[in-house]
Structure 1
Amino acid sequence: MKGWRARIGFLVPPGNPTLEPEMMELAPEGVSVHFTRMTAAGPAGTHSGQEERNRSQVESLPGCVRLLAMVSPQVIAMAHTATSYTLGKAREAALVAEMEGLSGARFITAFGSVLAAFAELGVRRVAYATPYSAEMTAQGRQHLESCGLTVVSSGHLAGVRNIYEENSERAYAIARQVDRPEADVIFLSGVGMPTLEALKPLEEDTGKPAISAASAMMWHALRTAGVNCSIKGYGRLLEEH
């Protein structure tokens, strides 16, 4: 039987080609990963109409969650960080409760996983980097600060044509750009931008933890499912916690 240790389900934005290979790369022995794509309107991976796409994805969630629940996962994760910035804390909490009622599984979000990772690492001063527009980056910064964190610096990639065409080298570059001596942690938002290969080099070069929405989401999903193992090569969160 696949997933004899745990089964984890992911709700994927429709145009995202990054999430499935990164989650399969991180999945430890005995853990199976399963995917359903959400529905969204507008061109995938672009800044245009981003909030509208976020809202349409949320509207598609009940049907998608019911489909994913058919494989009996212990945990279902909504793999889209910026949706949390659009929803806000109260609406996200209500959404989590609703989806758990529909699925019978634990339901987590990418951003909720980031908050859990910050708490686990004991960090509060954040250097924040994104592949988003300036407007969405500012919205994300405001959301982080509303959760009691201090964003010491923030920045976004310049010249992004499509988030899903970005790479780990660019993720590393924007992370180094936003880093400040007073930051406790470097946070790369957005599960559509490849980040896994950048995390260990960032930690080696800055001496501080580096997490991405993707690494935090898998870490949180595993811990929520009761799987406690070290995954080496992707930063101290997955290796030591």
Structure 2
Amino acid sequence: MNAITDTSYEILPFTLGPGLMSRAAIGLVVLATDQTMEYEWRKIMNLPGVAYFAARMPSPQDIQPDTLAAMRKDIATAVEMILPGIELPVVAFGCTSGAIVIGEAQVFEEIRKGKPQAVGTSPITAAKHGLAKLGARRIALLTPYVASINRLFQEHLQAQGFEVSRIATFNHSNDAEVARIDATSLKRAILQVGAHADVDAVFVSCTSLCMCDQTRQIEQLLGKPIVSSNSAMAWHALRLAGIPDTLPQWGRLFEV
């Protein structure tokens, strides 16, 4: 005889609540090599009723225009892996340089293949919206990228009406090592490139750079806004999802 028949066995009633995402559910596509984005998003997205759900996709260790372009074919598959069968209002694609090389419209097209109802964002999309909201037109660009990638960024931002008045780079293409560039190096670089009179704000580009823990402090020292890839995309995803919360601990951008 089956043992379960010898035991009191009840089927109990239950009700369904809103779950973790009573206010917003956000999808996030993370590159396989990324060590930083989820750490920063866990901090920023720590809000009642707000949840994000991530999937990883293949990505190159060496960041070059051709390797970035090749990522397009894997975006839709990654998006499909995020809560299958559940609609998400917002999905973020976590690669700044990849979104420029592939094209923002093309990235969002791939997102909609996996989640047809979703509005897409990316770090460069979010940064442009954020810089415009902050009233910053003259931008200092700080990146870890090689020259060919930096030229694409300059052309892209200038085509969107921004003036890239300064570019500073760590000139390193290994994504795993970029994630280990320390806080002191980032702070020193931001204060150096941002101090010039022809700079309204500093854009720290690359999702592997760990910035959120010191953005507010460096802004106070610099006296100018700092927009970084992960923080900007988190801010934009929250606003697209209808979350207006003011979170000044993460920088000036989260006050608009």
Aligned-residue CA RMSD (Å): 1.8
Larger radius of gyration between Structure 1 and Structure 2: 2
User: Using the alignment, how far apart are the partners of 1:72 and 1:163 within structure 2?
Assistant: 34
Contact 2:190 2:202 (8 Å CA) reproduced = yes
Contact 1:171 1:198 (8 Å CA) reproduced = no
Match of 1:5 in 2: 23
Match of 1:109 in 2: 122
Unaligned runs of 5+ in 1: none
Contact 1:9 1:73 (8 Å CA) reproduced = yes
User: Using the alignment, how far apart are the partners of 2:197 and 2:217 within structure 1?
Assistant: 17
| Per-residue Cα deviation, 1:188-229 (whole angstroms, up to 9, x for no partner) | 000111011231122111111111011110110000000010
Superposition misfits of 4+ residues, deviation over 3 angstroms: 158-161
Match of 1:121 in 2: 134
1:39 corresponds to 2:58 = yes
Report the TM-score when normalising by structure 2: 0.84
User: Percent same amino acid among aligned pairs?
Assistant: 25
Higher deviation after alignment, 102-111 or 92-101? 92-101
Contact 1:157 1:174 (8 Å CA) reproduced = no
User: Using the alignment, how far apart are the partners of 1:98 and 1:79 within structure 2?
Assistant: 13
**Offset at residue 57 of structure 1 (A):** 1.9
What pairs up with 1:21-100 in 2 under 5 angstroms?
21-27=39-45, 28-40=47-59, 42=60, 44=61, 46-47=62-63, 50-68=64-82, 70=84, 71-87=86-102, 91-100=103-112
| Per-residue Cα deviation, 1:173-198 (whole angstroms, up to 9, x for no partner) | 22122212221111100011101123
Q: How many residues are aligned here?
A: 232
Report the TM-score when normalising by structure 1: 0.89
Match of 1:2, SS state, is: helix
Q: Which has the higher helix share?
A: 1
Match of 2:217 in 1: 201
Unaligned runs of 5+ in 2: 1-18
| Per-residue Cα deviation, 1:43-91 (whole angstroms, up to 9, x for no partner) | x2x44xx22331222110111111125253321000100012313xxx4
User: Using the alignment, how far apart are the partners of 1:220 and 1:194 within structure 2?
Assistant: 18
